Amino acid sequence: MPHYGDLQTAIYSAGLSGIQPTLPVDFATLRARAEAAMPPSVLNYVQGGCGDEWTQDQNAAAFRHWGMVPRMMVDCTTRDLSATLFGRSLPSPLFMAPIGVTGIVTQDGHGDIAAARASAATGVPLCASTLANDPLEEVKRACGDTPALFQLYTPRDPDVAASLVSRAEAAGYDAIVVTLDTWVTGWRPRDLNVSNFPQLRGHVLTNYFTDPAFLKLLAKPPQDDLRAAVGTWGATFGKVLTWDDMGWLKSLTRLPIVLKGICHPDDASRAIDCGADGIYVSNHGGRQANGGIAAIDMLPAVAEAVRGRVPVLFDSGIRSGSDVVKAIALGADMVGVGRPYSYGLALGGADGAAHVLRCLLAEADLLMAVNGLPTLAAVRRAGAVRTDR
C-alpha cells in the first residue's frame, strides 16, 4: 500500500532526472521564501502575534522539550495514519486550522478557495474561517468529498449567528467550531505600528456581506456603502460567550459543536458537561494573549480530563511532521496546522498548500516508521517524554 513517506522516494527519483522540488520541504526555507513573496501588510498579519510574541514563539519552541522514545524490532513496513472524526473516516489526523486572512494570502484574493482545493487534493480537512473572501458555500464545494468544519466567530446579533450556522449546516460542513477567545482583538504591535486591520478595510467579510440576516441590518448594500457595512460588522462582531450560552449554541444546529480555545482541564470537563461535542486545545497561535503557556504543554492535562469522551483537536505551533506525531502522543485526536499552509498558499496557491500538507504527512509517516510506531494507537501508547525536567 502507498504511504505518505513515499513522497521522499519520489523526490529522490525525480532528482536523478535533474528535477528538484519547486517549493521547499522544510519550514525554515518555506517561511523565508514566503516572506519574500508576500506583501508586508499581509505578511505581518499572518506572522504577527500578541505583544512581544513570546507565547507565539514558545508554541513552536516547546515541541523541542518533548521527545519520542524509539521502539525497535517492530514491523513498520505498513503504517496506518487513519483517523475518525464525528463518524467520518479520514486518511490522517491532520487538518487545516482556520485562518481569518486566508482569502488575501493568494494574489488573486481567493485563498479560501485555494485552501479548499488543497484539502480536496490531499484529503486533509479544512476548518474554514468565518472571515473569508469567498462565501462559505463555495468554499465547501471546493473541498470536494473531503469533510470540512466551519469555524464561527459568534456575532452579537443572534439572527446573524443563527444564519451563519444554518448556512454552514446546509452547505454540508461536518461540525461548527466556536472560537472562544476572540470577542476582542489582542494587542498586536506589528499591525498597530502600521495601522493595518484588514477587516476594517473591507477584506475577508464576504460571509457577512452575503448573509441575509446581516444585510437586513444595513440601510444600503455593502457595494453602495462599504464604510457603513464595515461599521455594522464591527458593531456585531464578537459576542462574549459564557457557559449559559451553550444551550443556545446547541439549539442552532444538529451539527456537533466544538469549543476552540479550551486550555484548562476544568474548562474541558465543564464544556463536555454542558454539551460540547469536541474540545479544541488552542491559544490562537499566540495571536490573542501573550505571556501564556505553550499550547502543547497544556494539551496532556486537557486530554486526561476529556478521557476519550469527545474528540480532542489541537493547534498552535505545528511546524513539522514530528510536531504532528508529538501532539498525537500527548493526547490529540486531530492536529491542526496553520501558518505553514498559508506560506504554501502564498508561494503556489492550492498546489503550494497541498505540497506543504504532503510534506508534513510524509515526515510524520517516516518518523512513525523509524520509531517503531505503525499506528496512531501505538503513538498514543508510547507517549512523549518531557526532556527539560
> Is 389 labelled a binding residue?
no
279 is in an annotated binding site: no
100 is annotated as contributing to ligand binding: yes
Q: Answer yes or no: is 102 a known binding residue.
A: no
Cell of 291: 505571556
Q: Would the annotation count 206 as a binding residue?
A: no
Annotated catalytic, 284?
yes
Check the annotation: does 151 bind a ligand. Answer: yes
CB neighbour class for 141 (10 Å; exposed up to 12, middle 13-18, buried from 19): middle
Is 41 annotated in a binding site? The answer is no
Active-site choice (3, 110, 284, 355): 284
Q: How many CB atoms lie within 10 A of CB 340?
A: 22
308 marked as part of a ligand binding site: no
For residue 29, say whether it is annotated as part of any ligand binding site: no
Q: For residues 205 and 207, give the distance between their C-alpha atoms in angstroms, rounded to a whole number.
A: 6
317 is in an annotated binding site: yes
- β-bridge partners, 96: 126, 337
- 282 marked ligand binding residue: yes
Instruction: Determine if residue 275 is labeled as part of a ligand binding site.
Output: no
Does 338 carry a binding-site annotation? yes
Q: Are 157 and 213 in contact (CB under 8 A)?
A: yes
179 is in an annotated binding site: yes
Annotated binding site for FMN: 98-100, 129, 151, 179, 282, 315-319, 338-339
Residues noted as catalytic: 284
Annotated binding site for glyoxylate: 45, 153, 188, 260, 284, 287
Annotated binding site: 45, 98-100, 129, 151, 153, 179, 188, 260, 282, 284, 287, 315-319, 338-339
